[in-house]
Amino acid sequence: MRKSIQSSVSIGVWVMVWILVAIFVDGAAFLLLRSPLYQNQALWLMSRANAVAAYLIFTLVTILGLILSHPQNKQSWKQSKFILPWHQALIPTFLMLMGFHLLFSIGDPKSGVAWYTLFLPLTSVYTPFAMLLGSISIGLLIIVIISTMWRGKGRNWLKIHRISPLIWWLVFAHSLLAGTDVHVLLPVYVVTGILVVGTMIWRYGVIPTHHDPHPFMISIKWGGLALVGLMALSPLAMVPPATTTSVSVQVKQDKQTVQQLKQQNQQAKQQLQQAELHL
């Protein structure tokens, strides 16, 4: 009976997760379509829609993880059996969306992102520093996932798992610096940043227990670093990045100019031939 209930809960969680994915992806595409940058750029639009959806899912994963690790949840709330299935189901969903984001970005010839930039991000033509932050976050995420898979071998996996909020901030900075749609999605980044910072302070700013020897100092350390990083990166987010649309428009104009020159050259040849016949 208990197993059937758990399986039904798992199925229900997965159904809700896929509904959330559909809402996030379609909602992101709707928001991005408001920007003139994405006209006639289906691959880039799909890349950004999946990126925004992955960012929102990862934000939810991070917040749920902080709630799960709260000392009060272990001592009195005891809500892990309801929260943990969501936390576990959303992680592979985030990985899938992130994979689609990378696939569409690399597949778009106008993006300036090549497959080797995943390993050599500073060689990227498009926002190399943002690509570096993205590559670091992917590497750290792989380490966290591997350590979680081996969690039955000891308690060291939990120490590694606690760097997840740091990974979120790397993803946050990558989104601000690499996205060509920051002016459209800025309220989303502000709200999610406030939510994560508030949850971190709420999680770590509690009375120390034997499970958390110095949580308040951790909150001061990571919360302070996060706020400083947010303040340092916010001016960069307001700078409009070079867009792939402007490049494609320029290439199209150059092609039209070349075509016009060819037509003028052909007309000049025809006039010269007619003049020679009259001589």
Which of the residue ranges 106-120, 122-136, 227-241 would you say has the lowest mean pLDDT?
227-241
The arithmetic mean of pLDDT across residues 80-84, rounded, is 81
Q: What is the mean pLDDT of the chain?
A: 74
The predicted pLDDT at position 173 comes to 92
Which pLDDT band holds residue 55 (cuts at 50, 70, 90)?
Answer: very high
Give the residue with greater pLDDT, 135 vs 157: 135
Which pLDDT band holds residue 196 (cuts at 50, 70, 90)?
Answer: very high
Q: Does residue 111 have a pLDDT over 90?
A: no
Which of the residue ranges 35-39, 141-145, 203-207 would you say has the lowest mean pLDDT?
35-39
Sign, Cα dihedral of 79, 85, 90, 95: positive
pTM score of the predicted model: 0.66
The predicted pLDDT at position 38 comes to 63
Could you tell me the CA-to-CA distances from 221 to 33, 165, 181 in Å, in that order? Answer: 39, 12, 31
% pLDDT > 90, the chain? 11
Q: Does residue 168 have a pLDDT over 60?
A: yes
Q: Does residue 42 have a pLDDT over 60?
A: yes
Give the residue with greater pLDDT, 193 vs 72: 193
Q: For the chain, how far is it from start to end, CA to CA, in angstroms?
A: 104
